[in-house]
Amino acid sequence: MKKNKIQALRGMKDQLPIDITCYQKIERILKQVINSYGFSKIRLPIVEKTSLFKRAIGSVTDVTEKEMYTFQDRNGESITLRPEGTAGCVRAGIEHGILYHQEQRLWYIGPMFRYERPQKGRYRQFYQVGAEVFGLKGPNIDAELILMTARCWKLLGISHYLRLELNSIGSLETRKKYHNILISFLRNHITLLDKDCKDRIYSNPLRILDSKNPHIQELLKDLPPLKDYLDIESSHHFLGLCDQLDIAGIPYHINQRLVRGLDYYNRTVFEWTTNSLGAQGTICSGGRYDDLVEELGGTSTPAVGFAIGLERLALLVRNFNSIPIPNQIIDVYLITKGEKQNNLGLILSEQLRDNIPDLKLIRNSCEGSLKKHFTHAMKLGARFVIIINKDTEGAEELILKDFLNNTQKNIEKTNACSILTTLLRMHLTTHDISI
């Protein structure tokens, strides 16, 4: 009896080879830009103690209340698959003493996990590229992070479809003061609030500001804006940031309702959003979190960072075909027919790999028809096929076929390796030669 198939968990997506070329291209561009701003890579565990996220993200946020993958390990300790990268990065920074009185620019890439309702652009396992800077308190670095993301969009050809939303949520004291204003305003309109907002009034009233419910947004029009309550240092910081963005020519939209979902932010918050992906339009978000290092047991250290959602970014790049995605998996497909020829093919392909380490070559002995191999080679994007065959006298014969120019020629057997090395090296540097 045929057994039931086991399928992937809901919201967990496989990335097949056909998707990977797009991701790799995007990741290469992001990495190049991030490196060019002097960041170092950090690799962090996927699981952490649950208490880390509760303390960092806040215990009354959507993420900690509803979205965490939390388990008990065999020792009965509560552990959680990381829902985001900042908390782990700060934990590691404190643990290894690399934040104390130092300037650090760190970046990471990897999977995050949130138990959310899966839909386009929203998965239970998704990938983020994140960057965090420690030890710098002025607005220059906030601006630099935004410029760095803007450069990524430019190189990915999607600047046109993205909009930068910016806000300052001030200091902890600002927010405390504003909470009271907000709570009394909401209490006066309690009958007009939806359940979500009612639940949030006392636990996390600031989150009501970015409610997706249009009635709530309409109601909030009469609320005095948070900027009227900003502390003076935060106002200066924000003006400094806006100045820098103006000087760099980066357009932005100040959005008084932007507060962000995680508790650790203060002062600058920002998001890059698009209208082209439906409801899941935020592809990058970030901000300042000057109190988090101390909150997690370190010495008070200013910090700012962002995270990019790679799936949403890839959807956008694909939507607009904004960069060429290579479909070439290999350069050369080598086919041999006969045992002696197979041995020659083995030696030749290893020599070619010695001579040209970047060369992508597949070797196959020809069991079916040559045509079948040609089709396979074309599907893999190969430019060349090398055929090692038996000639009419039974000796080995080498043929090089160029798919691009639709030509083929015989290669002299005794010099085959050096002729092919020269030719293929040229191909790899120019990707545009003929034989």
Question: Do 373 and 385 meet the contact criterion of CB atoms below 8 Å apart?
Answer: yes
Restricted to residues 292-351, the positions that interact with ligand ATP (CB under 6 A) are 307, 309, 311-312
Choice from 48, 84, 291, 331 touching ligand ATP (CB under 6 A): 84
| 288 binds ligand ATP, rule: CB under 6 A | no
Q: Residue 435 and residue 385: Cα distance in Å, rounded?
A: 12
Give me the sign of the Cα torsion angle 122, 123, 126, 131. positive
Question: Is 149 or 171 the residue whose CB approaches ligand ATP more closely?
Answer: 149
CB of 285 to ligand ATP, least distance (A): 4
Number of chain residues interacting with ligand ATP (CB under 6 A): 18
Q: 333: annotated binding-site residue?
A: no
Choice from 70, 256, 280, 322 touching ligand ATP (CB under 6 A): 280
CB of 274 to ligand ATP, least distance (A): 10
Q: Which residues contact 268 (CB under 8 A, 6 or more apart)?
A: 139, 142, 166, 167, 168, 237, 238, 241, 287, 288, 304
| 27 binds ligand ATP, rule: CB under 6 A | no
Question: Do 103 and 134 meet the contact criterion of CB atoms below 8 Å apart?
Answer: yes
Question: Is 207 or 401 the residue whose CB approaches ligand ATP more closely?
Answer: 207
Q: Give me the DSSP letters along 14-32.
A: ---HHHHHHHHHHHHHHHH
Question: Is 219 or 313 the residue whose CB approaches ligand ATP more closely?
Answer: 313
Question: Is 305 or 345 the residue whose CB approaches ligand ATP more closely?
Answer: 305
Sheet holding 396-402, edge to edge: 361-365, 332-336, 384-390, 396-402, 407-411
Q: 412: annotated binding-site residue?
A: no
CB of 426 to ligand ATP, least distance (A): 42
Nearest to 413 by CA among 426, 396, 425: 396
> To which H or E segment does residue 203 belong?
helix 195-203
Q: Nearest to ligand ATP by Cβ — which residue? A: 309
The identity of residue 294, as a single letter, is: E
| 122 binds ligand ATP, rule: CB under 6 A | yes
Restricted to residues 223-252, the positions that interact with ligand ATP (CB under 6 A) are none
Backbone angles phi, psi at 335, to 5 degrees: -120, 135
List residues binding ligand ATP (CB under 6 A). 84, 114, 116, 121-123, 126, 128, 261, 280, 282-285, 307, 309, 311-312
